[in-house]
Chains A and B, each alone.
Chain A
């Protein structure tokens, strides 16, 4: 799937590439992707960029769906996500509990294996979840990036003041991670692969209408993620990441499309702003 997108990009920009090089490139990409998902020795940045690229590819293919199908699928997935994570017998809830029980036995191993759980659930297409580590020892396991950012954070007075409450500490840490969504998978908090994909699907679908809806949807998704993270700090167990974001995103898409666009275009083509 990715290679055909790559081919179309090559055709579009007229890049001279022969078939052998292309084959090697694609093979490298797939091999590194697979290794980075299942092994520990790969740098985090490779894992993250692999996840992001995969998300982009899948989302690009999902935009080929008809428009209303996309919306219905998105909403249905958000509902399913809600049920799967929160309902007592939900499949994702079982997965997360399994992971967390193992976690208590073997903290170091399972910390590394958790991305596998996330990845597997993403591969099944519709399962996304958000896991938070609220325990301190796990936070220390977070690797170099977290420690660096912690060091930076605590030299700044603004951050320092906020971080002083234990409750806010989790919250703020999450918020930092929200900003750097690519680093999310390897630190205290994990975002399922599926979330990436369906956020991208939403934004991609919005991009097929206008750029304005893209920005609106983007903002809505980010703020939905923020709401989920705040809820996470309150509830302290795995929460579905899709429902709030998707609901906000879909809502903002239609509001922007139906209400805001004629208003803004009308106003600004008259060179009227406020």
Chain B
């Protein structure tokens, strides 16, 4: 039973990304590379952040503002990282396109670009889920469970798996949105991503209040679904545009 519960929690957090990995990413070695490198980048960012915050931890105060500050700095740092990743990606795409032109092969299709963005985002999401949820999950395989004082209705592992799932979704698809926004120069998309990220981080602050997770988690899922919907809409629009353009060409 306990092993089943542990596996269940892990799958709850990582199941969607696992299926996404199996269907899309694992087909192309290049995407796996992107996934791995973005995971590593996220890990490095996490280490850097924790290095910054190490002297102040653990926080003794019950007040909200140090936590809010922590999340604010973290989100800001990670959004800066996203910009960095975008720069790297642009350079890589230029190189690839140059080589593709030289040997007169087709350039990267728009779906390829989106898949690269998806892989990059998934790297972030998976790293998040692994370090915040799965790595704490080891005790869940044992014969007991753990409840957090502030959220006593459901087990801690369950809550963290649920939250991790929401964050995986947000990270994965916001990378697609962000890359597309950077490419098009679309201001709405560019600001959408950090705002959603920050809002999601801030929403977890609700969990600090007693019984707050009942309110916080549905709100978090509203954000995740919003991200998903926005991403789907945008991809649909872009695909329709590109097929129309191709139709004009021929």
Contact = CB atoms under 8 A, between A and B. Distances in A.
Interface string A79-99: 000000000000000000000
A214 B201 CA distance: 26
Contacts of A44: none
Most buried by A among B96, B151, B200: B96
Interface stretch (A53-61, A162-170, A196-204, A233-241): A162-170
10 contacts: A160-B105, A162-B30, A164-B100, A179-B33, A219-B40, A259-B50, A262-B58, A266-B59, A272-B207, A274-B167
Interface in A152-180: 153, 156-162, 164-165, 168, 172, 175-176, 179
A215 B58 contact: no
Nearest to B217: A271
B67 A271 contact: no
Interface of A: 153, 156-162, 164-165, 168, 172, 175-176, 179, 210-212, 214-216, 219-220, 222-223, 226, 252, 255-256, 258-260, 262-274
A223 B40 contact: yes
Interface of B is mostly: helix
Given A219-B43, A265-B136, A271-B216, 11 more contacts: A156-B27, A211-B135, A211-B138, A215-B134, A223-B36, A226-B33, A226-B37, A259-B51, A260-B46, A263-B49, A274-B197
Contacts, number: 159
Interface of A is mostly: helix
Given A262-B57, A271-B151, A219 B205 contact: no
A222 B36 contact: yes
Contacts of A176: 29
B58 A219 contact: no
A30 B116 CA distance: 44
A223 B39 CA distance: 10
B121 to A, nearest CB: 15
Interface stretch (B124-132, B178-186, B239-247): B124-132
